[in-house]
Structure 1
């Protein structure tokens, strides 16, 4: 592979070498079965923050890729020194990726890196689908191509109703406070409300700024969450738990009402 990355200059400087090696290793394992590799999450949305953000990557490969190859890929990528907080990589079969779906649907779900516990799941049946639906929606809207077939030719967007259901599920998950940073709970809540209002996915910080401008009552908490979000993950600021709970309850009610309105229309 003479040029492993498409438009490397468009990527954060801290990630270029790492992503180039990630693409090389993925191609080494998948060979001609590799269809596309693209960045999603904060890199795609233009809000990658070194020391805070994960690197989110979607891989699409032809269905003939074996489980043995998937395990080999997981080991090869986990051995890389990730410069970000962690790598969250999901591999889909090309036939699944080509059709809209509200399912998790992955062949490989890999988490690794300095601040993420290692996991390499090959079975999507027990995984909460909403994370994957939201990631695919962001990928289809804003995915940054790293290698192969363009995103709009390789990946179908989940339906709007599937995305809305995923938003509702994500709000409930964040409200349960299971390992989430408080600032991330608040900012994901902001993004959920802004998605319901606009039908588009924004970076967490931009969604938070939009919500703070339109809803002054939540601005103090949102501003504090943004201040924390600008710090490294290991130096996040504590937010008032009662205010966070009230905010997430308001978000949940807003999202649920949006769903009820759309289902009855």
Structure 2
């Protein structure tokens, strides 16, 4: 693990423990940090905290004050933090269900959502069930019991439905005209690769690893996927229209599994 990230996570857990005390059940790195795919300068730091009981508004606000970038500088693009009650983490439910969510960082817009019910549908309510599935599979325990014991996975039906919701949401975003290289198109392609591998093979892989698996298996759009992988290391990203066409094809395959 990157030394700066390791120090930051240690400090984050310490600050969370100061606020939550014995109510802190565990702290878990998710995303690229947990999956060994962290890229300095590009990746976010994703963290889930688990508490024993519902948090009062005052403790939520204190936690946000202690963990926001201005109080605890994040060495990555930003921190994406979600706090769950233990019963929600163990439920395997697809709903957001979180206590508080914080996005903060030098290169990330500051945002706080004070409960899962407060997450607007237009912003996507599928993220959290998928994140808990990834945590169940490969979360890195920073404090508390192993992630696989703390987080339950989704049912196969709920997983497929949320992945369909996620791709539908992405495809509803504005699309660049033409097929010139488009910023973010590589993430669109590789995110779809990860969803497809999860449904086909039953495993969560880092986005690049999922793309490589599809290339190795001779996917018809292997050249597009290879370009998306190369863009992660400074190459030009795929065109926006080509990325959208790939997403639509993956969406069609996932819908056929429902």
CA RMSD of aligned residues (A): 1.7
- Partner of residue 50, structure 2: 60
Find the aligned partners of 1:183 and 1:199 in 2 and give their Cα distance: 23
Find the aligned partners of 1:143 and 1:12 in 2 and give their Cα distance: 17
Q: Is the 8 A contact 1:138 1:201 kept in 2?
A: yes
Q: Is the 8 A contact 1:15 1:83 kept in 2?
A: yes
Find the aligned partners of 2:60 and 2:222 in 1 and give their Cα distance: 45
- Partner of residue 225, structure 2: 222
Q: Deviation of residue 176 (structure 1)?
A: 2.5
- Partner of residue 148, structure 2: 152
Find the aligned partners of 2:238 and 2:156 in 1 and give their Cα distance: 32
Secondary structure of 1:89 counterpart: strand
Find the aligned partners of 2:27 and 2:229 in 1 and give their Cα distance: 30
Q: Is the 8 A contact 2:74 2:106 kept in 1?
A: yes
Question: Where is the helix percentage greater, Structure 1 or Structure 2?
Answer: 1
**What 5-or-longer segments of structure 2 have no aligned partner?**
176-182
Q: Deviation of residue 162 (structure 1)?
A: 1.4
Question: Are 1:245 and 2:244 counterparts?
Answer: yes
The equivalent position to 2:18 in structure 1, one of 20, 28, 31, is 28
- Using the size of structure 2 for normalisation, the TM-score is 0.90
Q: Residues 1-150 of structure 1: matches in 2 within 5 Å?
A: 11-78=1-68, 79-127=71-119, 128-150=124-146
**What 5-or-longer segments of structure 1 have no aligned partner?**
1-10, 260-265
Q: Deviation of residue 154 (structure 1)?
A: 2.1
Q: Residues 204-219 of structure 1: matches in 2 within 5 Å?
A: 204-219=207-222
Runs of 4+ in 1 over 4 A off after TM superposition: none
Find the aligned partners of 2:146 and 2:14 in 1 and give their Cα distance: 18
Q: Residues 140-219 of structure 1: matches in 2 within 5 Å?
A: 140-177=136-173, 181-219=184-222
Q: Is the 8 A contact 1:33 1:65 kept in 2?
A: no
Deviates more, 1:168-177 or 1:83-92: 168-177
Q: Deviation of residue 64 (structure 1)?
A: 4.3
Secondary structure of 2:143 counterpart: strand
Q: Deviation of residue 118 (structure 1)?
A: 0.7
Deviates more, 1:204-213 or 1:168-177: 168-177
Q: Is the 8 A contact 1:51 1:84 kept in 2?
A: yes
Q: Is the 8 A contact 1:108 1:121 kept in 2?
A: yes
Q: Deviation of residue 137 (structure 1)?
A: 0.4
